[in-house]
Chain A
Amino acid sequence: MRTTNKQKNPFIMPERYTEEFTFRMMLRIDREGQTRPTASSSVLRRHLYQSYVRYAIGVAAVMAFFHVCTRTSLVEMQTNSPVAQQENKMMASTGKDAVYYYLMMNDQTLYDYEANNE
C-alpha cells in the first residue's frame, strides 16, 4: 500500500486514535471472537455434507433391517394363521367349492342348498 497523499486529505484522524482503536478492537475480538477463527464455508459445507450422508446411510440401513425383519415375520404369520389356511383352501378350490366357501356354508346348509337347486 502506498502512502496517502496527505496534502490532498482533509480528513483528520483523531489524536492517539490508532492506539485507542487497537485497544478497542482487541477487546471486541476477545469478547466476540474468542473461539478459533472458523473454517472456510466450503470446508464446513463439505463436513456437513459428509455427516449428512453418513447419517442418511445409517438411517437407511436400520430401516432396511427392520423392514426385512417385519416382512419375514409377517409372511410367516400370514402363512400359519387359520385365516390364511382358509384362504389357501379357497385359492385351491375352484367352481362350486369357491362359491360355497364364499357363501360361508357348512356341510349341512351345503347339502340343503344343493338339494333345493337340483
Chain B
Amino acid sequence: MPTLLTRLRNSETRHEAFKELVHTYTPQLYSQIRRIVLYHDDADDVLQNTFMKAWIALDNFRGDAQLSTWLYRIAMNESLTFLQKQRENLSLDSDESSVIQKLEADRYFDGDKAEAQLQTAISMLPDKQRIVFNLRYFDNLSYDEISQILGTSVGALKASYHFATQKLKSFLETIEI
C-alpha cells in the first residue's frame, strides 16, 4: 500500500488521499488552532484556510519534514495571520473581562473561571510567545520540534517560553482566582 505522501503526489489518488489527510489531522490541528484563536467559529475558519493552503501548495512540499510538521507550520502561520487581522479590527469588547465572559459562555469551552482566566492570560501574550507556550506546555512538543514548525532557533524559543511563563505568572498574580 503506497504511503499517504505517495498517494498525495499522484494526481489520480490525490483527492482521496487528501480527504484521508484532512480526516486524520483535523483533531490535532483544530485543538492547536483553537487554543490560539479561542473560539470555535474562528478555529473552524482558520482550519479550513490551513487545509486549503495545504491543497494548493501540495506540489511544493518537498518531504524534508514530516507531513504533520508541515501542516502544523501552515496552521500556525494561518493562526498568526488571523490574529493580525483581528488586531486590525480590534473591537472594544476585547478586554480581559469580556474574553473571560465569552469563554465561560462558549458551549465548546469546558473549563471553570480559573481556566478561562488562564486562557485569557495566554491570549494576552505576544503572538509568537503565545504559540510557543501552547506548543510547549499543552502539546508537550520538544524545542527541536517547535523549531522545525516555527523556523526559529531553539535558544530563541527557550527565551520566548521563559518570558511567556514570567508574564503569565505576573498576570495571574494580579487577578483574583
Contact of A21 with B55 in the complex, beta carbons under 8 Å: no
> Interface residues of B, CB < 8 Å — how many?
43
Contact of A1 with B72 in the complex, beta carbons under 8 Å: yes
For the complex of A and B, the 4 pairs showing the least CB-CB separation, nearest first, are A10-B111, A1-B68, A11-B34, A22-B23
Chain B contacts to A: CB under 8 angstroms = 11, 15, 18-19, 22-23, 25-28, 30-32, 34-35, 40, 44, 47-48, 51-52, 55-60, 66, 68-69, 72, 108-111, 115-116, 119, 137-141
Q: Does A8 contact B (CB under 8 A)?
A: yes
What are 21 sample pairs from A and B whose C-beta atoms fall under 8 A apart? A4-B32, A8-B138, A9-B31, A9-B35, A10-B110, A10-B111, A11-B34, A11-B35, A11-B109, A11-B110, A13-B31, A14-B108, A17-B30, A22-B23, A26-B15, A26-B18, A29-B15, A33-B52, A37-B56, A37-B58, A39-B59
> Interface residues of A, CB < 8 Å — how many?
28
Residues of chain A within 8 A (CB-CB) of B47 are 21
Q: Closest approach, in angstroms, between the C-beta of B103 and any C-beta of chain A?
A: 8
A-B contact count (CB 8 A): 91
Q: A21-B26, A22-B26 are in contact. List 7 more A-B contacts (CB 8 A).
A: A4-B138, A4-B139, A8-B137, A11-B31, A11-B34, A13-B30, A29-B52
Task: Please classify the interface of chain B as helix (H, G, I), strand (E, B), loop, or mixed, using the class held by over half of its residues.
Answer: helix
Residues of chain A within 8 A (CB-CB) of B108 are 11-14
Query: Which of A9, A18, A25: most chain B CB closer than 10 A?
Result: A25
